[in-house]
Amino acid sequence: MKKPTGTPEIVFLEQETMGPSVDLFRPSLPHRWTSYDKTAPEALVDRLAGAEIAVVNKARIGADALQSLPDLKFIAVAATGYDNIDIHACRARGITVSNVRDYAIDTVPEHVFALILALSKNLTGYRQGVIAGKWQESGQFCYFSHDIRALRDARLAIFGGGAIGKAVGRIGASFGMDVVFAGRKGETAELEKPYIPFDEAIETADVLSMHAPLNSKTHDLIAKPEFARMKRPIIINCGRGGLINEDALVHALENGLVAGAGIDVLTREPPGDDNPLLAVAARDDVIITPHIAWASNAARQEVWRQVVEAIEAFAAGSPVRVLT
C-alpha cells in the first residue's frame, strides 16, 4: 500500500452523481480539494494529474490511465459496484481501492417493490385508460383492460443473495410470496433452501428480480435462451444493466414471453438513442427509471459519509472496505 502524504491532493471527478440535497462535507484531515461536476474520459488523466486520492462513481480508471498517474495512491468509489476500476492494475501499482456498502439496503428493495406492484396491478395501463376516457366510456363501475396479478403465493426468484437481495426476499415474504434464490448459472451442486437451481428459477418464477454483481460470469445472465423457457413472469432489474440482454428483453416483451419489465439500470447510462429498450418504453407493461433505485436522500448521504470515512481511514493508515 502506498502511504499518503501529510496534505494530499483529493480530486472528486463526478460531483453531479451525488445529486441534490446531500451535504458534501470534507474530510477532517489537512488536504487540498478539487471537484468537477462531471469528467469526460479524455479529461480524466489531466484532472487527476498530481492527485493522491481520487473520488469516483462511474468514471472508468483503467490500466492505461494509471500508468500516467504515478502520484495516485487511493481511489474511493462512491458506489458498491467497481467494474469501472481496473482492480488488477491498481493492485500491481500498490493503489488501494475502497467502495461503499449496504447504503441502499432499504431504498433499492422499496423501489423493486414499487415496480413489482405497479406492473402486477398494471397501474400504468389503467392510469392511461382513465386519462384516455376508456373508463368513462365503459358504462361500468369498473373497467377491465389489463391483467391484475396477486402477489400472495407467486414465486419470487431473486438472482443475487447479498444484503439487497435478502432484503427484497424479506419484503416478498411479507406479501406471502414464495421466495427463492437462484443458484449460479451452470452450477450442478446440490443446493439448500431457499436456493434452487438456476434453470428451475428461470422456468418457475412469477417474478424475477436481479441483484447479482456484474462480471464476466453474469454478463447477459438472462438472454434469449432464458426468456424462451419462462412462464410470462414480471422481470425486475435494479442491479446492473449488463445482467439482462436488452435486445432479448425487447424480443420477449414483443412476443409475450414476459408479463412486464421494471428496469432501473441499462448497459449504457445515460442511454443512447439506439438503446432498444427506449423503443418500448411507452408500453403499458414497461417501466424504465433513470438509475434512481439507490438514490433516496438518506442513502446518498450515507454514500458520502462512507466516502469521507474511507479517505480518513486511508490517511490514518487503516483503510476500510478495501477491494485490493
Cite the active site residues.
240, 269, 291
Residues 6+ apart with CB under 8 A from 163: 101, 102, 105
Q: Which amino acid is at 8?
A: P
Adjacent-strand bridge partners of 45: none
Q: Where are the beta strands (DSSP E) in the chain?
A: 9-12, 32-35, 53-56, 74-77, 96-98, 155-159, 178-182, 195-196, 207-210, 234-237, 260-263, 286-288
User: Distance between CA atoms of 153 and 10, rounded to whole angstroms?
Assistant: 52
Laid out side by side, the sheet with 9-12 consists of: 32-35, 9-12, 53-56, 74-77, 96-98
CA-wise closest residue to 104 among 180, 162, 55, 184: 162
Three cell numbers at 317?
493508515
